[in-house]
Structure 1
Amino acid sequence: MTAQLPPIPPQFKSLQHHLRTAQEHDKRDQVVAYYCRLYAMQNGMKIDSKSPECRKFLSKLMDQLEIQKKELGDCDSITQEIVGSAHVENYALKMFLYADNEDRAGRFHKNMIKSFYTASLLLDALTVFGELSEENIQHRKYARWKATYIHNCLKNGETPESGPVGFEGEDYNEDDDGTSASTEAPERSSFTYKPGNMPASNYTGIHIPPGAHAPANTPAEVPHSSGGMRLTPEDFAQAQKYCKYAGSALQYEDVNTAVENLQKALKLLTASRE
């Protein structure tokens, strides 16, 4: 990444952590880095595109995006929205799962806090493709709350409680350190994150991505098993490929190829149930 950004204007303070996450992922996952910058660009334009300092900053950010887009070339995750969206979502949920597993095992540390918080930032970035699903809205809110809660407990010398105990849509503010700080009088939200809806039950076995801040002795992957079904990492990768091919076919209105690949993915994922 050759284009350097000028100091971030105060108006864009809310975007500083997304840009920092982009920088951290330049060597880990350029696709993730690209969409974090694109999110910052789109939201920066909404915040202030007229003042001289903001225009200068956005211009440099646009240069970064153009350079990175050229570096990525014909990468499917850049040229096809459906592939890019799946890439960012999978990466965010992998980081979420790592942090959630650490939390439920009672292992509270800075890396898991950062993974929770970074997952929430990546779910922010996912909005460049459209509105988040209700499930991902809850994941994002829970991840930010959990990062806040554990950060404050450790700072105050307290032992955090694992899982969603005490979470009923706490409010938070972002501080300058990249973690979130609770408000003194949090408001009630419109939903409660119930233990039975925890993402771990939906995403068991998602691989921890490079750079997810997992300690060296953390297993890189955990096989998925549920109700007698056991899928290998290779099975998941192949199923993702079939879905990607189906998405590509739909872009060219090739329904037969799309259906064929979706059927292959479905057969792979359900074969061991039969």
Structure 2
Amino acid sequence: MDFPQCPPSLKGIQHFLKLAQEHDTRDPVIAYWARLYALQIGLKASTQSAEETKLLLSLMDWLELMKKQHSANEAITNDIAAQAHIENYALKLFLYADKQDREENFGKNVVKAFYSSGVLYDMLQTFGELSDEALQNRKYAKWKAAYIHNCLKNGETPIPGPLPDDDDEAVVTGAHEEGDTSHEADTPPANLENDQPPSSPPVTTPHITPPTAEEVLNNPSKLPSPPVEEEKPGGFEPYVPTGQPNPAATTVYQPIVPVAGLQITADQMIKAQKYCKYAGSALNYDDVKTAVDNLQKALKLLTTGQD
């Protein structure tokens, strides 16, 4: 289906539309939810001009057609399955980019992989608030995309991994405050002044000028496919804020005793199913800790009624 050109007034949805176009054949689920999220943002931002209305109506028609054609695909018809699918894809792409970065394999594909994973994390807001891990990964991915892009643009060699800054200047903020979906994918981070990707040794880094939307959208490099199972990415260690214990090192799982006469509600049952789906997905990537965490949450909910 040919879509009308995106008017400048709706430039905030360009990245979602671009991501959808890149996945039309490789992953229809990502394409579907990218355009659905673009539609949701577009409807909020629309001034109801003729150009805007034409594009938004075409998106509605396409979404309706896709839902009929893929009625048997739970990742399109079921929110829980869809959320798990997008989360897994975003994380796998993020880990791929992080592995390449830490191995100093810098290039436009790594920039695009980091930034695309950030856009995927934006899309997850369709299903509600992002988890702490998703918020952290989204912020880091967008910042890293901007940093590597500008190093390559200026002929500089990027420093792999997280970067510190004595003045705490280098992270995504400003127009991209957490929870602000209206500008999330408009351009890469508008300013990089208030937050800093975590690290330890003091190294002063220059102010980073983010790439423009056009520079990312017109990148001739194709979005790389995440590694296949036998090439699992690794090397990324989640950031734990200073002064807070590492959950992986301190969590102790206690046996759960069922509460007699407990009645599980439909909402609780759906949430337990969601935790089980996350656990199964985590095992696909050998992430045992995440699988155990989610299974424990499901068991606790089903046996105590408490989340």
Scaled by the length of structure 1, the TM-score of the pair is 0.69
- Indicate if the aligned counterparts of 2:11 and 2:186 stay in contact, CA closer than 8 A: no
The two structures, once aligned, show a CA RMSD in angstroms of: 3.7
1:46 is matched by which residue type in structure 2? K
CA contact (8 A) 2:93 2:226 kept: no
1:169 to 168, 171, 177: 171
| Separation in structure 2 between the aligned mates of residue 94 and residue 59 of structure 1, nearest angstrom | 33
1:74 to partner: Cα distance: 2.0
Match of 1:131 in 2: 129
Shift in Å, 1:135:
2.0
- Sequence identity of aligned pairs in percent? 44
* Counterpart pick for 1:194 among 177, 194, 198: 198
Quote the residue 1:24 is aligned against. Answer: 22
Q: Distance in 2 between matches of 1:90 and 1:25?
A: 15
8 Å contact from structure 2 (residues 19, 116) kept in 1: yes
Aligned counterpart, 2:232: 222
Are residues 1:97 and 2:108 paired?
A: no
Select the structure that is richer in helix: 1
Number of residue equivalences:
221
1:14 shift after superposition: 1.4
User: What is the match of residue 8 of structure 1?
Assistant: 6
Q: How does 1:80-159 map to 2 (within 5 A)?
A: 80-159=78-157
Contact 2:95–2:233 (CA under 8 A) maintained in structure 1: no
Give the aligned residue type for 1:10.
P
SS of residue matched to 1:90: helix
Which stretch of the first structure deviates more once superposed, 64-73 or 100-109?
A: 64-73
Give the Cα separation in 2 of the matches to 1:45 and 1:258: 32
Letter in 2 for 1:159: T
Deviation at 1:50, TM superposition (A): 2.1
* Structure 1 alignment gaps of length 5 or more: 197-210, 226-248
1:10 is displaced (CA, Å) by: 1.0
Kept in 2, the 8 Å contact 1:22–1:33? The answer is yes
Given the two structures, how large is their TM-score scaled by the length of structure 2? 0.62
Describe the shift of the 1:9–1:132 C-alpha distance in structure 2 as closer, same or farther (beyond 3 A). Answer: same
Match of 2:67 in 1: 69
SS at match of 2:231: coil
CA drift of 1:164 comes to 1.0
- 2-structure distance, mates of 1:250, 1:28: 38
Assess if the C-alpha contact under 8 Å between 2:163 and 2:197 holds in 1: no
Given residue 111 of structure 1, which amino acid in structure 2 is its aligned partner? N
Report deviation, 1:51.
Answer: 2.1
- CA distance in 1 between partners of 2:273 and 2:135 (Å): 29
Name the CA distance, whole Å, in 1 between partners of 2:158 and 2:39.
Answer: 36
1:182/1:36 Cα in 2 relative to 1: closer, same or farther (>3 Å)? closer
Structure-1 separation of matches of 2:75 and 2:68: 13
Please give the secondary structure, in 2, of the residue aligned with 1:100. Answer: helix
- One-letter identity of the residue aligned with 1:186: L
